[in-house]
Amino acid sequence: MTQNEKLQRQHLKCFEPLGELSDARLDELLSLVYTEKFSMGASLFREGDIENQTMYLLSGDVQLSSSDGRIDSIVRHADDLARHPLDDSQPRQSSGLCITPVKVLRIDNSILDYMMMWDQVGISVELENEEKIREQAGHNDENNIVDPVISEKNMDEEKTVIPVKQREKEDEVPDSHHIDKKAGSEQKDESHVVEAPVVVTDDRAWIRKMSHIMAFKSMPPANIKYLLEKMDAHEVKQGECVVKQGDAGEYYYVLVDGKAQVTRTVELATLMPGRSFGEEALLSGSQRNASVTMLEDGVVMRLDKRDFDDMLKEPMLNRIVPSEARAKIAEGAHWLDIRHAKEFNHSHLPDAINIPLHELRLRIEELDKEQSYICYCRTGHRSSAAAFLLVQNGFTATVLSGGVQVMARDLIVDS
């Protein structure tokens, strides 16, 4: 197996659900996928195999057959069926045989799930911002209803427009470790406050940056959206002491931009973007055991102790195996497929409701709190985020452990 160097973004876009990923995420994925060539008659995988990889057909033809000798299908690289993974089940529900020379693309499932999760979190934030803008615009329209006679009079009077000079906020560098204190002591002169229009920052770019932070790599997917909502950004200046040795620990930090120096009595380390600090005092309840000072201007993301503690453990989600899920469905529960629409249209569980994860927050009112939902995705990772959101909003929700990959083929409905 060799890591692919010639594959380009447009090639990945041909496959589902890769085609749903942003261009930036696809560019990241290019360095993490592998291609492999097989000769005619070679076996790609056997029924019952568990290798936790997603495999796409780049060239050639593959026969999928069951252990009883029955041929399930023949996948040809030019067919629409080849846009989807070869036997997307774990364990494999069929055996794959090369009936011509074949070239395949392999992706580790954990990597793909991670990419899909962070990308959908980014889309979700964008959709929520758009909704806020629409609501704000509607609110402004209601407040701007003007009598046409008065409006015409005002137009005549407003031949000269005098601009309003807004008070500029001075950049102040806080005393050493004051960034580690609550911001509630800050006071504002409301008589000089000018209401600004809604401005949407590039949230998705910010989330892409956060996705590289190693501290979050092992975080349960269900916690990611919640964590992003709880963290707040602080600009820090060169020479500013973010954490002071001997102080009580109140926050956990992630360095997003800039460089910082960790010192005790001597320099211990230099922190680059993506590094986190401050967790030791929070975990042990002791004082800060080192100081962290900015070597240049930058940005840190801050999470308070209570939310940090909440992030250490995956939310109490009820995970169920396929046999339990079947029993619940028989009792009246509903499947909730939170994958992308194209994934759903290719194959889904019987009578499933499809609301992609990134749309769930905005479409949650389509669901009934009197009903019970079993959330599923490919592997069970993304669906944990969906179930967490539902439970937080008063729904009864469980997660199909292992996702549709562990469901028997006869439960899948091919569209």
Among candidates 12, 213, 38, which has minimal Cα distance to 112?
A: 12
27 and 92, same domain (yes or no): yes
25 and 84, same domain (yes or no): yes
d(CA 90, CA 93): 7
225 and 293, same domain (yes or no): yes
Is residue 247 domain-resident?
A: yes
| Structural tokens at position 41 | 């008659």
Q: Which of 290, 313, 336 is the last residue of a domain?
A: 313
Residues of the chain with pLDDT under 50: 1-5, 145-204, 214, 312-315
Q: What digits encode the pLDDT tens for the residues 338-352? A: 998 988 988 899 999
For residue 36, give the CATH number of its domain.
2.60.120.10
d(CA 402, CA 314): 16
17 and 105, same domain (yes or no): yes
Is residue 82 domain-resident?
A: yes
Q: What digits encode the pLDDT tens for the residues 282-318? A: 755 667 778 899 999 998 888 888 887 776 444 456 8
Question: Half-sphere exposure (CA, 13 Å, Cβ side) for 152?
Answer: 2
Count helices and strands (H / E) in the chain.
Answer: 12, 23
331 and 370, same domain (yes or no): yes
246 and 336, same domain (yes or no): no
Is residue 359 domain-resident?
A: yes
Q: What digits encode the pLDDT tens for the residues 28-82? A: 888 888 899 999 999 999 998 888 889 999 999 999 998 888 888 899 999 999 9
Residue 384, helix vs strand vs coil: helix
Is residue 42 domain-resident?
A: yes
**pLDDT on residue 336:** 97
Domain coverage including residue 331: 319-414
**pLDDT on residue 353:** 96
Number of domains in the chain: 3
Q: Over the chain, what is the mean pLDDT?
A: 75
Is residue 129 domain-resident?
A: no
**pLDDT on residue 208:** 54
Q: Which of 111, 137, 160 is the last residue of a domain?
A: 111
Question: Half-sphere exposure (CA, 13 Å, Cβ side) for 180?
Answer: 26
**Residues ≥6 apart with Cβ < 8 Å to 155:** none
Intra-chain end-to-end CA distance of the chain, in Å? 33
Whole-structure pTM value: 0.48
10 and 100, same domain (yes or no): yes
**pLDDT on residue 52:** 81
Q: Which residue is listed with tokens 């759903």?
A: 344
Q: Which of 247, 280, 313 is the last residue of a domain?
A: 313
For the sheet with 260-263, list strands across it. 241-243, 291-294, 260-263, 267-271
Is residue 14 domain-resident?
A: yes
For residue 352, give the CATH number of its domain.
3.40.250.10
